[in-house]
Amino acid sequence: MDLDSFINGHPTSAPGDARLVCVSPIDGVTVVGSVASASAEQVRAAIAAASSALPAWAEVPVRARVEQVQTAIAEVLAVGAQSGQLIAAEMGKPAGEADGEFAFAERYARFCGDQAEAICAEHWTEDEEGTLLRVAEPMGVIAAITPWNAPVILAALKVIPALMTGNTMVLKPSPLAPLAVTSFLSDVAARLPAGVLNLVNGGPEAGDALVSDPRVDMISFTGGPATARAIGAAAARSIRPTVMELGGNDAAIILEDAEWGEELAERIIFGAFLTSGQVCMAIKRVYVPRSHHDAFVNELVQAAQRVLRVGDPREEGVTMGPVISADARERLERLVDSSARAGGTVIEIGSIDDALPTGGHWMRPRLVTGLDDDHELVRDEQFGPVLPILAYDTVDEAIERANSVEHGLASSVWSKDADRARDVARRLRVGFTFINCANRAGVSLRAPMGGRGLSGHGREFGDLGLSEYVQNHSINYPRAAHPGSRMAANRYPVLAVPPRRR
């Protein structure tokens, strides 16, 4: 599969046919496909196309915009060319899990349709001061940069709300997994007016050209803190808003009164090891009452044996594929070695298929016990299938330790007492807390998600996820001037009759 950029309604090859090659993490050698590596000039052309398309697209009635986006997505999916097998091959996610990415896009488009109409509606207020009209207007041209770990989902979270609220967009996917998202969204873009949605692939040169262009009105980024700092610096030069989701070091706090047993253990395993642990909202640390620690570790080992099978992600029944790259695997193995040297106990869990390709980026999942909180496996986001289990003596202590890291994306609290779980959740410095679940199993389209601290700012999902892409415009019709004002002294004319609503 060889794909081009999609600019101003047309596939566009790169100068000299420069291409980014996507090699599968399953064996480290198979070329899954390639994408055109856009030049800085082509990125600027995509921005120009988005800028030219903006006035007309913003004037389309919101219901019509919603229907155009929903119809485009539905038509592309109806063709049946989109498959989780491609995502599995390019980034290692099990195909059954990856199939859900396309279904998510259609479901999220339905949700955003209703929200967009409410957010973009005119809001009128009439009182003794006069009449006030508040309108939500598009931010403008949006630059979006997305990661590899959920390529279609994380692009849909930006594209759908931005377009439905009247913006245009230039999207740059991750070069590590560009194929499925470029294929899918290029087909969607082809069904929309030219320039409304543009896709460019490339490395740092393309990214720099995208975020530094003054015609970009807002930047939406999901990725790591280092890139976020560079984007923030570029945005600050012209004081443009950003939305940034930068990962998390998400703590699970299991309370004494949790429903201990097989189901709890399996939920923790799925919450931690979905997509090989390469999910921003995955469980990264588990805090367990000391009295339950040893027994629960045994429960986790048994649960992993039942539900964790490492293998070729294209095969049925596999629940964990390879990690994304050789560098990622080496970094994670160094963390495991460091944990053992620091006195931790490393426990291999789950099963791994025989005869897997030797060049693949395979990792046996592990639990690690006995670490101090200052160890890097606990302190930093590991983003992989290695999970520290930590004993605590009091709930206050567990909360303090959970809050001791720089990230603040998500957390989970596990208890049979809903009120107690809420009280603990309210004390956690994060943007989202799951109760008795974690990771994607607990995501709700209506619930805004975003972080604090090193996890970024802004929200996706829910009504706030759409509100990020609009700006308020207040139009005031005063009934009379305030006494003593220059307006009153000059008998400046005011409206005697309120304006007519559209």
Asked if the structure places residue 499 within a domain, the reply is no
| Placement of tokens 């919101």 in the chain | 62
SS3 205: helix
Same domain, 257 and 322: yes
Closest CA to 453 of 248, 314, 315, 260: 248
pLDDT digits (tens, 9 = 90+) for 457-484: 999 999 999 999 999 999 998 876 555 5
Neighbours of 34 (CB within 10 A): 20
Q: Is residue 326 part of a domain?
A: yes
Catalytic hit among 245, 266, 299, 381: 245
Residue 41's pLDDT band (cuts 50, 70, 90) = very high
Domain range for 341: 250-447
Is 90 exceeded by the pLDDT of residue 351? yes
Active-site residue flag, 245:
yes
In a domain, 300, yes or no: yes
Residues 167 and 32 in one domain: yes
Residue 279 lies in a domain: yes
Do 218 and 298 have their domain in common? no
Q: Determine contact, residues 144/171, Cβ cutoff 8 Å.
A: yes
Burial of 398 (0-12, 13-18, 19+ CB in 10 A): buried
Residue 103: other Cβ atoms inside 10 A: 14
| CATH code of the domain in which 367 resides | 3.40.309.10
CATH number at 53 reads: 3.40.605.10
Identify whether the C-beta of residue 371 lies closer than 8 Å to the C-beta of residue 390.
yes
Whether 265 and 223 map to the same domain: the answer is no
pLDDT digits (tens, 9 = 90+) for 55-71: 999 999 999 999 999 99
Does residue 426 form part of some domain?
yes
Residues 227 and 308 in one domain: no
Neighbours of 204 (CB within 10 A): 10
Q: Do 211 and 78 sit in the same domain of this protein?
A: yes
Residue type for position 356:
L
Q: pLDDT tens digit string along 365-420?
A: 999 999 999 999 999 999 999 999 999 999 999 999 999 999 999 999 999 999 99
Within-domain flag for 476: no
pTM for the structure as a whole = 0.94
pLDDT-derived band at 81 (thresholds 50, 70, 90) equals confident
In this structure, are 163 and 274 located in the same domain? no
**pLDDT by residue (tens digit) across 96-153?**
999 999 999 999 999 999 999 999 999 999 888 888 999 999 999 999 999 999 999 9
> Looking at the DSSP assignment, which residues form a beta bridge with residue 219?
143, 242
Name the pLDDT band for 495 (thresholds 50, 70, 90).
Answer: low
CB atoms within 10 A of CB 37: 24
Tokens encoding 120: 């973009």
Considering the domain architecture, whether residues 229 and 256 belong to the same structural domain is answered as no
pLDDT at 82: 82
* Crossing angle of the two packed helices 84-91 and 95-120, in degrees rounded to 10: 110
* pLDDT tens digits, one per residue of 234-255: 999 999 999 999 999 999 999 9
Q: Which residues of 76-99 are buried (b: 16+ CB within 10 A; e: fewer)?
A: bbeeeebebebbbbbbbbbbbbbb
User: Is 238 found in the same domain as 298?
Assistant: no
Q: Are residues 241 and 294 in the same domain?
A: no
- How many domains would you assign to the chain? 2
Other beta carbons less than 10 A from residue 494's beta carbon: 13
496 — pLDDT class (breaks 50, 70, 90): low
What is the spatial distance between Cα 444 and Cα 307, in angstroms, rounded to a whole number? Answer: 24
Average pLDDT, the chain: 95
Same domain, 256 and 235: no
DSSP secondary structure of 105-141: HHHHHHHHHHHHHHHHS-EEEEETTEEEEEEEEE--E
43 inside domain:
yes
Residue 304 is assigned to a structural domain of this protein: yes
What residues have CB less than 8 Å from 210, skipping those under 6 apart? 43, 47, 143, 145, 170, 172, 200, 216
- Is the CB of residue 285 less than 8 Å from the CB of residue 268? no
Q: Do 281 and 183 belong to one domain?
A: no
Q: Percent of the chain at pLDDT above 90?
A: 91
